[in-house]
Amino acid sequence: MRTSYAIGVDVGGTRTAAGLIERKGRMIKEVHALTPAQAGPFAIVDSIIELIEDVASGAHPGEIAGIGVGLPAQIDFLKQTVEFCTNLPIAGVDMRSLIMSRVRHPVAIDNDSNCAGIGESRFGVAKNVRDFVMITLGTGVGGALFLDGEPYRGSRGLGAEIGHMIIDLGGPPCPCGGRGHIESFLGRPAIAARGREAAAEYKGQALRDEAGGDAEKVTAEDVINAANKGDEIAQQILLDAGGVLGEALVGIVNLLNPKLIVIGGGVGESCALLSERASEVIDEHALAGRRDVRVVQAELGNDAGVLGAAALAFDEHDSREGLHR
């Protein structure tokens, strides 16, 4: 049966969103809740179930193809298990079975960045692009690879962790335990740390102002806001970060020759400077013949994860039913 709706859930470290989505990507109903990150895995599942029930009430159960859930974790996609998770206490927890035991629909889980990539690929800026790379800049740095029209997840479904590619041997520590990874330069904590350093100097007035006068309280968002208002110190921090991003992307462009690079995530989407600088670096340093790659900001914002999770549910439904999309 060709169903009309799917439910997408995007579980974040701080917030969870769920939506009832039509096949063409229209969001019929959307709800949010804070993720009870400290309360343990069962509380997190309870909160996901509540959101699913809420959006499911917008359609007849027989019209719903399934449920896709994006988790901020490394997912073994083939086994549908959660391997590692730094932001939520769900590593090793069988999230899919726990959710599926309480709903009437099939459930598929995937990494949140893959879901955002699927969302942009199906409904957003990467529509009809067969080869693209998405990098999501937020508290962590995630990625998604689309090769030949399909998400590429690697042999165990754990691939595309672009944020944990080494760009500086022996560089600063990364939250994953490694050193010198992209995330250790571009995650919110790294940008905030540069911001606090600059705010402690005489010239950092605009940064101190954003943080209510306290240099110690400068966040990544304060740096972005000050930069967007024209403060040169804040702009320099983001230009440096964009330079690092660009260097990392040169390697990816040389390796994969994508047509498009999509910069998403809360930090990536609120800061054009970063992607512009990254684009310049690629122009200067990528191998010849690959420089026509376009670097663009993501289009779907916070909805990318929910839309992509729903697209995953449609795909799983259609392959079960032997339908082609």
Using DSSP, state whether 208 is helix, strand or coil. Answer: helix
Residue 176 CB, shortest distance to Zn ion, in Å, is 3
Handedness of CA 273, 277, 278, 280 (dihedral sign): positive
- List binders of Zn ion among 251-280 (CB under 5 A): none
- Tell me how crowded residue 179 is: count the other CB atoms within 10 A of its CB: 14
**Quick one: 125 or 186, whose CB is closer to Zn ion?**
186
- Exposure string of 135-150, with b = 16+ CB inside 10 Å and e = fewer, is bbbbbbbbbbbbeeee
Per CB under 5 A, 96 contacts Zn ion: no
What gap in Å lies between CA 281 and CA 294, rounded to an integer?
12
What gap in Å lies between CA 267 and CA 274, rounded to an integer?
9
**Quick one: 153 or 164, whose CB is closer to Zn ion?**
164
Contact criterion met (CB below 8 Å) for 221 and 195: no
Angle of helix 220-228 versus helix 232-256 axis, rounded to 10: 100
Residue 187 CB, shortest distance to Zn ion, in Å, is 9
Per CB under 5 A, 174 contacts Zn ion: yes
Pick one of 106, 178, 180, 243: the residue that binds Zn ion (CB under 5 A).
178
What gap in Å lies between CA 255 and CA 131, rounded to an integer?
12
How many angstroms separate the first and last alpha carbons of the chain? 13
Residues near 274 by beta carbon (within 8 Å), at least 6 away in sequence: 137, 238, 241, 242, 245, 263, 267, 268
Q: Which stretch binds Zn ion (CB under 5 A): 158-166, 244-252, 262-270, 303-311?
A: 158-166
Binding mask 217-236 for Zn ion (x = CB under 5 A): --------------------
Residue 183 CB, shortest distance to Zn ion, in Å, is 5
Could you tell me which residues are beta bridge partners of residue 134? 144, 262
Using DSSP, state whether 98 is helix, strand or coil. Answer: helix
Residue 315 CB, shortest distance to Zn ion, in Å, is 29
**Quick one: 135 or 174, whose CB is closer to Zn ion?**
174
Pick one of 164, 194, 196, 277: the residue that binds Zn ion (CB under 5 A).
164
Please identify the residue of the shown chain whose CB is closest to the bound Zn ion.
Answer: 174
Closest CA to 107 of 119, 118, 95: 95
Contact criterion met (CB below 8 Å) for 11 and 72: yes
Pick one of 176, 193, 215, 296: the residue that binds Zn ion (CB under 5 A).
176
Residue 112 CB, shortest distance to Zn ion, in Å, is 16
Per CB under 5 A, 181 contacts Zn ion: yes
Residue 133 CB, shortest distance to Zn ion, in Å, is 18
Q: Which stretch binds Zn ion (CB under 5 A): 162-170, 209-217, 229-237, 265-273?
A: 162-170
Q: Which stretch binds Zn ion (CB under 5 A): 20-28, 172-180, 214-222, 292-300?
A: 172-180
**Quick one: 3 or 184, whose CB is closer to Zn ion?**
184
Per CB under 5 A, 243 contacts Zn ion: no
Residue 184 CB, shortest distance to Zn ion, in Å, is 6
Residue 291 CB, shortest distance to Zn ion, in Å, is 28
Per CB under 5 A, 143 contacts Zn ion: no
Q: Which residues bind Zn ion (CB under 5 A)?
A: 164, 174, 176, 178, 181
